[in-house]
Amino acid sequence: MAVFSELEKNKGLNAEASVAYQDLKKLTTEQIAQKAALEYTPCTQEVVEALPNKHQARILLAGCDPTTHSAQWLNLAEASNAINLLEKTSFSNQRLAKKRINILVNSYVKTNNWKAITRLSKQLHQPSQLSVLATSYDKLKQYPQAATIWLKLYQQQRKISLLKSALYALSKANNHDEMSQLLSSLLKQNSIALRYSAITGAFVDDFYAASDAYSLTQVRQLNQHLSMSKQIKSDYWVNANQCDDVINTDLSAQPAFAIMAVAQCKAETNKQQAITMVEAIEPKGIMEQLLLGSGMRILIIINKLLHIGNQSLNRN
């Protein structure tokens, strides 16, 4: 700029050049830099002329310095799909660095290169990028990593689709303890997510896969969000030979569902105790219908307990 100023003073600029200089003086430093970035170097000019032959353009771009007119070089790398060059190049400018990552991720998604996306995991921070990363882990059957990201995204955005993806990954990872903890959290929050059958159904399926990971309280509360036909019945544990999971439950503060489940298990060894437990559910002794998991009248339950006790005696 100083050179142009000196030439203008000495009348060294013709009229056209003088006008151009006056226009240049009106620009900010950033605008001048942007204008300069639009000017192709001899090397990048060859790349431009080689397009749309992307293969030839990539060969030529490999000979250009990415530190000179970096934004221009990056644009040409994107236009020519020079993924190999982008993988070997980094930028200190944050805007260019983010654009480079986006170009790489988009390319890897198109080519189903899920492994390459996971190699960028430490550089992926935006929700859209994390979603792609979690999907990549799913595709690679690395379900624990996928579940962690899906849950993080769900906690941030509260989208049911994200929770569905998290439950799918947890299920595939057979992470029953974390599934149980997640259910407890949703129940405590009285989460709107429990209104969706796809969500409650995932927990029901996981319960049947690993009932020992769930407490009677959890099951009872989950049942409140299920239709009658989908509810887990109070006789599940005795029928599935899983009584060890519930037999020692402290019933001092438990509702009818838990008492029924434990009573049916105890009937195998002490049917009279089981009957007493069931009768105690209704202190007045009125055998009214109770919606307990299995939906049977108490009298029918007692008859069933007698049957369970008799079966146990016959086995012995």
Residues 262, 246: Cα–Cα separation, whole Å:
6
The confidence band for 302, taking pLDDT boundaries of 50, 70 and 90, is: low
- Taking 80 as the threshold, does the pLDDT of residue 257 lie above it? yes
Contact residues for 9 (Cβ-Cβ < 8 A; gap 6+):
none
DSSP assignment of 85-126: HHHT---SSHHHHHHHHHHHHHHHHHTT-HHHHHHTGGG--S
- Taking 70 as the threshold, does the pLDDT of residue 172 lie above it? yes
Query: Across the chain, what does the average pLDDT equal?
Result: 83
Q: What percent of the chain has a predicted confidence (pLDDT) above 70?
A: 77
- HSE at residue 237, side-chain half, CA atoms within 13 A, is 29
DSSP assignment of 266-285: HTTT-HHHHHHHHHTTSTT-
Region 243-253: mean pLDDT is: 86
pLDDT of amino acid 6: 45
Model-level pTM? 0.75
**pLDDT single digits (tens) 2-44:** 433 544 454 444 555 565 546 556 656 555 455 555 578 889 8
pLDDT of amino acid 143: 98
| Helix residue ranges per DSSP H, 111-247 | 114-119, 127-139, 143-157, 160-172, 176-189, 197-209, 216-223, 236-239
Instruction: Give the residue, 268 or 10, on which the prediction is more confident.
Output: 268
Burial bucket for residue 95 (CB in 10 Å: 0-12, 13-18, 19+)? exposed
